Amino acid sequence: MHQFDLKNRTSIITGGAQGFGLNIAKRFLNSGGKVIIWDIDENELLKASKELDNSNLSFNVVDVSNYNQVKVAVDKIIKNSNIDILINNAGITGSTASLWEYDIEEWNKIVNINLMGTFNCCKCVVPNMIKNNYGRIVNVASVAGKDGNANASAYSSAKAGVIGLTKSLGKELADKNIAVNAITPAGAKTRILKQMSKEHVARMLSKVPRGRFLEIEEFTSLICWLSSEENSFSTAAIFDISGGRSTY
């Protein structure tokens, strides 16, 4: 496995207490970085901290859909450190239902966490990156944001918004040493699959030419490269990791 150099780099990973986020944190720590994981679930954060057991790890209970919570957490961090890397990983899929039957409160919750959460974190972190003329932002979108998944209109719409946000922000920061990119995974072997019906999961898998779901380590490798100094040119781009489901 390729070893990336993240020494002297401080990262925020949202949704970092489990699944993709936890694996990213583990890999970043192994690459010499300082990692701050955010999650809404304090118990999961405590479990993650115990599992990773690293002096370069810290955590905060943060609801990314709440702008004030994000702002307070960021202000606290930048009193003592720069923020070099931001991984907007926090997200939920929500239930599966046709658009005209979708619960309005749940629709708003999905959009607020997936899209507004990404906006809130970028809005608060970017000024510190501009000040230091360095930054790497990776937004976790989804092939659902490209293709639109039937019976997942809220999630598909939110992730399409993340793709648009990434392209806009990447261009706004293109004259600086700050890269903003997104990745679009297909279904992966994480707990998020348990939020969906068996029928929906089977339908997702049937669309993947590779014939299997994404492995977490494969996802993390792409995140690591995009977060490193090796990625010195790509920005405002969408990197596909869907096993051939999407080819654009």
Instruction: Report the chain (248 residues): mean pLDDT per 10 consecutive residues.
Output: 88 96 97 98 97 98 98 98 98 94 98 98 98 98 94 97 98 98 85 71 83 89 97 97 84
Look at residue 248 and tell me if it is in a domain: no
Kindly name the residue from 67, 102, 155, 248 that is annotated as catalytic.
155
Can you read off the two tokens belonging to residue 233?
Answer: 């040119």
Is the pTM of the predicted complex or chain greater than 0.75?
Answer: yes
Look at residue 68 and tell me if it is in a domain: yes
Q: Which range of residues forms the domain containing residue 229?
A: 10-240
Count how many domains the chain has: 1
What is the per-residue pLDDT for 48?
98
Q: Is-catalytic flag, 155?
A: yes
Q: Contact at 8 Å (CB) between 218 and 239?
A: no
Can you read off the two tokens belonging to residue 237?
Answer: 């781009």
Q: Contact at 8 Å (CB) between 139 and 181?
A: yes
Look at residue 136 and tell me if it is in a domain: yes
Look at residue 3 and tell me if it is in a domain: no
